[in-house]
Amino acid sequence: MTTILASASPRRAELLRQIGLEFVISPSDIDESIHKSESVEAYVQRMATSKANVVKHASQLGDIVIAADTVVS
């Protein structure tokens, strides 16, 4: 079982290292355009879910995928 960070964010990686988590980094390549009339909350949730799904489909059964997204508004 491998823990996978679905992000290239150095800050997210540092936060996981601070709690002693061992993980590999596997950023997803997705379109991060906001949809017309999409709320900020819906956008962030869609991005995190999409990143997790892309990486999960490329991972092994039992791997743990961590994905997140942030927006400053």
* pTM of this structure: 0.84
- pLDDT digit string, tens, across residues 34-63: 999 999 999 999 999 999 999 999 898 999
Could you give the residue numbers annotated as active site?
Answer: 69
Each residue's pLDDT tens digit, 17-36: 999 999 999 998 899 999 99
| DSSP character string of the chain | --EEE----HHHHHHHHHTT---EE-------PPPTT--HHHHHHHHHHHHHHHHHHTS-TT-EEE-------
